């Protein structure tokens, strides 16, 4: 069973485990995913995709229970009205206690299994992340990340660009010994499109 953080007739907020795809992949062996499990778990209602988390990322993710909610939440994301915070454990120390990474991201079309992205100022899509260091423990840093855009692998690529790859990243820092990707979607804030009430969810990481 997928842990449910919040539910009503319009919205589901759940805790996605690390290692589970948000949506099915193209190959037959990649059909097990969060979306399909939720559709089985909530077979009496619609479960519609709003946004995604990388397979190796854990934490808060939203699903709509009707098309009107899906459309409204989609517009909130597009207008950057949804506030998201992640926590990560990274290798090394960041250059400043807090800062902004403005690094356009482009997909490497020569690599698809798994997909790989990189910073490309000339042809990449705009990608902006704010960060704030929370603690330093020897060779590792715990950092809070505030993505202002939602590009694929954005946080992972931006941390790598500062020389501080996320611990356990199988794509951008393979073989570092981490038992999982230490990246967790810890907080999400949005407006309920029916009640107009601001919803603010927090789910502490397990690392």
The one-character DSSP state at 29 is G
Helical segments of the chain, H only? 34-41, 67-78, 154-161
54 is catalytic: yes
Distance between CA atoms of 156 and 66, rounded to whole angstroms?
A: 32
Give me the catalytic one of 54, 169, 176, 206. 54
Distance between CA atoms of 159 and 163, rounded to whole angstroms?
A: 7
Buried-state track 66-83, b at ≥16 Cβ within 10 A, e below 16: eeebbebbbebbeeeebe
Tokens linked to 25 = 């992949």
Q: Which residues are catalytic?
A: 54
């Amino acid at each position: 069973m997928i842990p449910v953080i919040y539910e009503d007739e319009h919205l589901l907020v759940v805790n996605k485990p690390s290692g589970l795809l948000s949506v099915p992949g193209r190959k037959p062996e990649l059909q097990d995913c969060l979306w399909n499990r939720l559709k089985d778990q909530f077979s009496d209602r619609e479960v519609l995709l709003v946004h995604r988390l990388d397979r190796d990322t854990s934490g808060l993710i939203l699903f709509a229970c009707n098309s009107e909610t899906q459309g409204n939440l989609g517009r909130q994301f597009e207008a950057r009205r949804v506030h998201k915070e992640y926590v990560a454990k990274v290798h090394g120390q960041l250059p400043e206690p807090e800062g902004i990474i403005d690094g356009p991201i482009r997909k490497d079309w020569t690599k698809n299994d798994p997909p790989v992205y990189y910073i490309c100022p000339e042809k990449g899509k705009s990608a902006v992340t704010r960060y704030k260091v929370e603690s330093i423990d020897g060779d590792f840093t715990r950092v809070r990340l505030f993505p202002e855009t939602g590009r694929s692998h954005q946080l992972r690529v931006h941390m790598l660009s500062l020389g501080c790859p996320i611990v356990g990243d199988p794509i951008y820092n393979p073989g570092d010994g981490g038992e999982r990707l230490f990246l967790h979607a810890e907080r999400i804030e949005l407006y309920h499109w029916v009640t107009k009430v601001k919803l603010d969810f927090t789910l502490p990481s397990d690392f």
